[in-house]
A = this chain, B = another copy of it.
Amino acid sequence: MSNLTINQDRLWASLMETAQIGGTSDGGIARLTLSEDDKRIRDWLSAECAALGMKLTVDEAGNMFALRAGKRPDLPPIAMGSHLDTQPTGGKFDGVLGVLAGLEVLRTLEAAGYESEAPLMLVNWTNEEGSRFSPAMLGSGIWAGVYAPDYGDARSDVAGDTFGASLDRIGYRGAAKAGAVKIGAMFELHIEQGPILEAEGVQIGVVQGVQGMRWFELVLRGTAAHTGSTPMNMRRNALLGMAKVIEGIDGIARSHADAVGTIGFLEVHPNSHNVIPGEVRATIDLRHPSDAVLDQMEQQTQALVRAAAAEIGLEHRLDQISRTASVVFDAACIAAVRAGAQAAGFSMRDIISGAGHDAAHTAAVVPTTMIFVPSAGGLSHNPAESTLPEECAAGAQVLLEAVLHYDRQRAETRRGVTA
């Protein structure tokens, strides 16, 4: 236990203050990446970091890295952070909490005059949400070398505006090359975006990794025809085939422990009261912590689609449109979170992240883990997204404890090695 205590009211006040930037009348935030509102929140963060005497570096993808010196400049910095952009119908906690809690940790350390061994760093990753420029987690992906900076720059929004031009326009194209800013470890606090912690009354999720994810686009094509004058035995109803796939995907997911499977997007053509659907498009979302199980689920999905199409005489096309491997977080980082939650006296449980996060990209490069706090009703990407002040503070306290625990452990190890 550090004897340092997060200032819950200060953290909450910052959350509520910044929620006005891009704030919507229904209590949410619409702060799309690289928008004018994104510039405003970035300017706000820059000023807060400057007030703490931190040195800000921005890289060519707009990722922001603010550094607080430690006792040992030879050690790579321990980073905290997440993202400040939101979905068009975003809430007040997704991403923002991870950045502002990191800021609160640094404010607390500064107020106490606490000096860490390694430097500490606060990070704001660009375009985590991916709702303006696809793919999601673009900034951390560029930093981690998953995407080339040129690829990032060329991403276009629906209006034809590019990522690169938008970055230039708001003045957050930094001089640092992608990946040039070195990090020793990454801790990302985030809301769970799921119902488990709330349902079990647990305060802290000790995140073990991120599920692998595979997305497919499915098109089923039959024959559009009049609902009144086409006998049942002469129909090729594409929606009927899709109904079988919807149920089948649910069944496949339920047949594997820890799996999820969903059709969330579905479009019917011509979508008229009195026309049998001639074509239906949908996206299938499969996730599991194990890539081997995902392989099985993918095969079962292919068989399911073939069977449903054959039964009704439909044409089908199943294309994989996105794929992320599962991620296992760093054991030492996880141990630090567990020690931090224990020291602070919070209840905890191991949990797997079902959503993608910047931490999934950093984990491929540096020791990384995440900390989850409850989401009321499991809601996110929703103005009604809600995490209580004490829950936010608990997450920030565990973040502080974990980072300092990890800092002490690593400094000792390094001393051991160099001794």
Q: Are A260 and B231 in contact (CB under 8 A)?
A: yes
Encode A371-391 as 1/0 by CB contact (under 8 A) with B. 000000111111000000000
Which residues of chain A from 274 to 332 have a CB within 8 Å of any chain B CB?
Answer: 274-277, 283, 285, 287
Within 8 A of B (CB), among A242-269: 242-244, 246-247, 250, 253-254, 259-268
Contacts A234-B378, A247-B243, A377-B223 given; does A229 touch B194 at CB 8 Å: yes
- Of the listed residues A227, A231, A234, A287, the one surrounded by the most CB atoms of chain B closer than 10 A to its CB is A227
A237 at the interface (CB under 8 A from B): yes
Q: Which of B227, B283, B353, B379 contacts A273 (CB 8 A)?
A: B283
The residue on B at minimum CB distance from A256 is: B232
A224 to B375, CA, bound (A): 13
How many angstroms from the CA of A262 to the CA of B229 in the assembled complex?
A: 11
Q: Which B residues are CB-close (under 8 A) to A259?
A: 232
Query: Complex Cα distance A89/B270, Å?
Result: 11
Asked whether A271 and B266 contact (CB < 8 A) given A228-B287, A354-B230, A380-B226, the answer is yes
Decide: B260 and A264 in contact? CB cutoff 8 A. Answer: no
Interface residue? A143 (CB, 8 A): no
Give the distance in Å from the alpha carbon of A319 to the alpha carbon of B38 in the complex. 45
A240 within 8 A of B: yes
Q: Is the CB of A382 within 8 A of B260?
A: no
CA distance A141 to B273 in the complex (A): 21
Bound Cα distance from A378 to B237, whole angstroms? 14
**Could you tell me the distance between the alpha carbons of A157 and B363 in the complex, rounded to whole angstroms?**
57
A144 to chain B minimum Cβ distance, whole angstroms, is 20
A186 at the interface (CB under 8 A from B): no
Interface SS, A side: mixed
Q: Which residues of B contact A377 (CB under 8 A)?
A: 223, 225
The answer to whether A25 has its CB under 8 Å from any CB of chain B is no
Question: In angstroms, how far is the closest chain B Cβ from the Cβ of A204?
Answer: 16
Nearest-CB residue, chain B, relative to A261:
B232
Let me know if A208 is at the binding interface, CB within 8 A: no
Please, which residue of chain B has its CB at the minimum distance from the CB of A255? B232
Q: Which residues of B lie under 8 Å from residue A378 when comparing CB positions?
A: 223, 225-226, 229-230, 234
Contact between B232 and A260, CB atoms less than 8 A apart? yes
A267 to chain B, nearest CB (A): 8
Cβ contacts under 8 Å, A227 to chain B: 260, 262, 264, 285, 287, 354
A239 interface contact, C-beta 8 A? yes
Contact present for B268 and A265 (CB under 8 Å): yes
The answer, yes or no, to whether A3 is at the interface (CB within 8 Å) is no
Is there a chain B Cβ closer than 8 Å to A215's Cβ? yes
Cα-based distance from A244 to B276 in the complex (angstroms)? 17
Return A57 CB to nearest CB of chain B, in Å: 32
Measured CA separation A379–B270 after assembly (Å):
13
Residues of B within 8 A of A262 (CB): 227, 237, 274, 276
Chain B residues near A176 (CB, 8 Å)? Answer: none
A355 within 8 A of B: yes
Known: A273-B265, A273-B285. A260 touches B230 (CB 8 A): yes
CB-CB under 8 A for A226 and B275, given A234-B378, A240-B247: no
Q: 7 tightest CB-CB pairs across the interface, nearest first?
A: A194-B229, A228-B354, A229-B354, A243-B246, A243-B243, A227-B262, A228-B355
Inter-chain pairs besides A196-B231, A225-B377, A240-B250, 6 sampled, C-beta below 8 Å: A227-B264, A227-B287, A229-B378, A230-B378, A232-B261, A264-B273
22 pairs of residues in contact across A and B, judged by CB atoms under 8 Å: A196-B229, A213-B228, A225-B379, A227-B260, A227-B262, A228-B287, A228-B353, A229-B353, A229-B380, A230-B260, A231-B260, A232-B250, A232-B254, A232-B260, A232-B261, A237-B250, A237-B262, A262-B274, A264-B268, A264-B273, A265-B273, A275-B381
Interface residue ranges, A against B (CB under 8 Å):
89, 192-196, 199, 211, 213, 215, 223-232, 234, 237, 239-240, 242-244, 246-247, 250, 253-254, 259-268, 270-277, 283, 285, 287, 353-356, 377-382
